[in-house]
Chain A
Amino acid sequence: MTLNAYLILSALLFCIGLFGVIRRKNLLMLFFSTEIMLNACNIGFVAVSRHYGDLNGQMFSFFIVAIAASEVAIGLGLLILWFKKKNSIDLDSLTKMKG
């Protein structure tokens, strides 16, 4: 397979994630869409890494995986706090800026 095929697939998956981020109002769904976007980037990095016979792309996607894992831990912690406070995981409940 050519590099372009992988890059187009990566772009397609990124667009699906982007669509989710724009469209969904459920905060949990927002997290899922972010994961999809991070994964799409990973495919692109690994494809380019294979194309040049270079390991740096794989290293980058390795660190992206680490970042995604810590993002989930912190994000879910904050989400649980928010849910305890407001009893809702609607994105629109975040727009009211009072303590």
Chain B
Amino acid sequence: MYEIIAFYLFSFLTVAMFAITVTTNNVLYALSSLAAGMIFISAFFFILDADFLGVVQIVVYTGAVMALYAFGMMFFDSLSSIDEKISNPRLVFALSGLIALCIVLIFSFPLIDVGVVAHAPVNPTWGNTQDVGIVLFTKYLVAFEVAAVMLLVAMIGGIILAGKKMDISYSSLSEEEIASLEKKDEK
């Protein structure tokens, strides 16, 4: 009973938040509603007995990813509206409607589950976190290490990409020095 109420409540909230995200013109509204939607999604993980993933969802998405977006937004002139004119709105509408219909049909077909064996069965005597830890560090150890290296590469890449010429502080330079720097950039 509680599961049904929670499911419908959170699915309504999530869909509403994400609908705001994709339709609003204000980037700040989009960012906040996206963060709210991410937190509501973690509720589904808690309903589905995946406590560890629920916590990871909150920590990684609303903690790290949203903070990164918020910092990234400070580099952009993001409040200036971008002229979003679509040359053929009917085509866009028809395409997205068609794809949406296809995906919903695919997902709502009854599952054909013949001979599906759980290779990593859930052990109800342990908690979910312990379960996930045991599978992660035995069966998925190599993938885990590769993911760690990937995150390291992404971090170094992000620093190098975004950090170019960050050592020059424009606020401590005079107007002429800034003008000469920008002239040098254009060459």
Residues of chain A whose beta carbon lies under 8 Å from any beta carbon of chain B: 1, 3-20, 22-26, 28-29, 31-33, 35-36, 39, 42-44, 46-47, 49-56, 58-59, 61-63, 65-74, 76-81, 83-84, 87-90
Contact = CB atoms under 8 A, between A and B. Distances in A.
B128 to A, nearest CB: 8
Contacts of A72: 65, 68-69
Contacts of A84: 75
A42 B41 contact: yes
A79 B73 CA distance: 10
7 contacts: A5-B7, A17-B18, A18-B99, A18-B103, A26-B84, A50-B50, A76-B158
Interface of B: 3-4, 7, 11, 14-15, 18-19, 21-22, 27, 30-31, 34, 37-38, 41, 44-45, 47-50, 52-53, 56-57, 60-61, 64-65, 68-69, 72-73, 75-78, 82-84, 86, 92, 95-96, 99-100, 103-104, 106-108, 110-111, 113, 116, 118-122, 131-132, 135-136, 139-140, 143, 147, 150-151, 153-155, 157-162, 164
Given A17-B18, A20-B21, A77 B157 contact: yes
A23 B92 contact: yes
Contacts of A61: 53
For the complex, would chain A's binding face be called helix, strand, loop or mixed by DSSP majority? helix
A13 B69 CA distance: 21
Contacts of B107: 4, 7-8, 10-11, 44
A-B interface, 6 closest residue pairs, ranked by CB to CB distance from nearest = A77-B161, A70-B154, A20-B22, A54-B118, A73-B158, A15-B100
Contacts of B34: 32, 35-36
For the complex, would chain B's binding face be called helix, strand, loop or mixed by DSSP majority? helix
A95 B21 CA distance: 25
B7 to A, nearest CB: 5
A1 B126 CA distance: 24
Given A6-B48, A76-B162, A90 B82 contact: yes
B73 A59 contact: no
Nearest to B150: A70
B95 A22 contact: yes
A45 to B, nearest CB: 9
A82 B84 CA distance: 19
A43 B44 contact: yes
